[in-house]
Chains A and B, each alone.
Chain A
Amino acid sequence: MKALRLAIIFTFAATTLHAQDDLLGELSKLDSNSTSPVQATFKSTRIINGHSVETVKKNHMDFRISHRFGRLNSGSYELYGLDQATLRLGFEYGLTDDLMIGVGRSTEQKAFDFFGKYRLIKQSTGAKQIPVSVTLFGSAAIRTVRPVTEEELTRSFQNKLTYVYQALVARKFSEKLSLQITPTYLYRNLPELQGDKRALFSLGLGGRLKLSKRVSVNAEYFWAARDKNSTLPYYDSMALGVDIDTGGHVFQLHFTNSLGMIEKQFIGETTGSWGKGDVHYGFNISRTFSFDKKSKQTR
């Protein structure tokens, strides 16, 4: 009975307090939007070398220019690597807000790469909570460098192809911190070196820590499941960098032991070692254009 009386008093008290704030409070009930996907887990579609869960949005094109210079330990004669540059140019387009395709051309091995990327699950808050984002990635790459050795001359079209499959799983833990884990399956129809296997499993770890609204520190590591007794000259790929978002452009500046900028090369064929100082300075510049017709209208 006590509770009953309290309730009556409470309700009457509430009705007399019918001020403007109540109007706003009442309004929040009209709010239908209860589940909202988490935005901007990463600033770009790449963490450094590897892909992030982000995709280019519908009718937007991301034009990417990526450079990796020579090794820092090549000395002052080579201006610590800056005399040599390898490049990847990429055109990447959003078919829908969740599905993107891309094509790229790398200096290294004169390789063309084609990929598709689909955002399967979006981390969300609100009524329906989803803890992580999941994006699927598939890519085919072909080396087109002219044959030099006899072995290369007899190489078939099929044997120039490489395939990559990834499941990117990321979580934005806070405004500042995002982490990603990237199981990868790499399949080379013909590995670059004899003694290497066609299939390679790898596990990538990556993350970013925002220092300010527009600057973040990124790190990335790809552990490759190679035979421990292998005599292949390959190392795991590791990269450290900074993202600077200027509104329209994203600049990614970094140091990495990998020269290649496509999965096949940096996961499968990294010959540099951080320990020996085989580190390359590099950058990615990303410029996004909107082809949405509405963006041209003033109102």
Chain B
Amino acid sequence: MKHHIVLSVILLFTFSGVSGITFAQGGMFATAAGNTKFSSETPMENINAENKKTQVLLNTAKNEIAIRMNMRDFVFPNKLMQEHFNENYIESDKYPTGTFSGKLDQVIDFSKNGSYDVSATGSFTIHGVGKNRTIKGKLKIDGGKISLTSDFEVALVDHKIDVPQIVFVKIAQSIKVKVEYTLSPYKK
């Protein structure tokens, strides 16, 4: 028992020490309520969905960024489409999350307020298929908060998402994605 207590004290101490150092260097910024939207637009039908529980973590000291979302958190106005999205296309049971993990390509002074055109390069994974991408967006620093916005497209074929011929609902081959994340200083 005693060992365990000593052990956990040491563990706690080292971890808090580490995070303290990174904070001193500029720190980590995060959100668990980021907004990710996508839309499939065809002459026949427009389909939209929104995920308000996107998790984002930005390490300003290392210029690293990670984004993660549960595919099941995408909400569609049409619940049948939501079911099809999870069951037939994204296969949420097998591939529950979509992630991006990479680095910002620009060096930014996070200590000052400002607005920047930025891009991030890294691995973008959905449907279990990763792809190296550079995604452009805007980064805004304002009063200790960092907001990230971006518009980009995802081609279904890049992630091995099949749309069979039998489907009557038309789905675009390239999906438009729009993200809005507002990050605050991260406390563990």
> A interface vs B, CB < 8 Å?
3-4, 7-8, 11-12, 15, 18, 20-21, 23-24, 26-28, 30-33, 36, 39-40, 57-58, 60, 97, 175, 213-214, 245-249, 288, 290, 292-295, 297-299
Contact = CB atoms under 8 A, between A and B. Distances in A.
Interface residues of B, number: 50
Interface string B119-132: 00010000000000
Contacts of B66: 20, 23-24, 26-27
B180 interface: no
B10 A26 contact: no
A200 to B, nearest CB: 35
Interface string B1-32: 00100110011001100100000000000101
A33 B68 CA distance: 13
Q: Which 8 A-B pairs have the closest CB atoms?
A: A295-B77, A57-B79, A23-B66, A294-B77, A290-B78, A247-B167, A30-B32, A11-B14
Contacts of B83: 39-40
A284 B66 CA distance: 47
Contacts, number: 123
Contact of B68 (A27, A36, A288, A299): A27
Contacts of A295: 77-78
B104 to A, nearest CB: 12
B107 to A, nearest CB: 17
Given A12-B14, A26-B66, A247-B166, 9 more contacts: A7-B7, A23-B64, A26-B57, A246-B167, A247-B167, A248-B169, A295-B77, A295-B78, A299-B39
Among A20, A27, A175, chain B packs the most CB atoms within 10 A around the CB of A27
B73 interface: yes
Contact of B10 (A8, A32, A294, A298): A8
B7 A4 contact: yes
B77 to A, nearest CB: 4
Given A8-B10, A298-B46, A30 B55 contact: yes
Contact of A290 (B39, B55, B56, B80): B80
A7 B56 CA distance: 29
A247 B169 contact: yes
Contacts of A214: 88, 164, 166
B102 interface: yes
A11 B87 contact: no
A23 B57 contact: yes
B55 A31 contact: yes
B53 interface: yes
B79 A36 contact: no
B35 interface: no
Main secondary structure of the interface of A (DSSP, over half): mixed
Interface string B41-56: 1000010100001011
B7 A299 contact: no
B149 interface: no
Contacts of B67: 27
B126 to A, nearest CB: 14
Contact of B101 (A21, A36, A40, A248): A21
A214 B39 CA distance: 23
Given A11-B15, A33-B53, A39-B86, A4 B6 contact: yes
Interface string B61-96: 010111110101100011111011011100001000
Contacts of A36: 72
A23 B60 CA distance: 12
B88 to A, nearest CB: 5
Contacts of A60: 78-80
Nearest to A244: B166
Nearest to A16: B18
Nearest to B15: A11
B101 A7 contact: no
A36 B66 CA distance: 24
A7 to B, nearest CB: 5
B159 interface: no
B134 interface: no
Nearest to B18: A15
A9 to B, nearest CB: 11
A33 B59 contact: no
B46 A27 contact: no
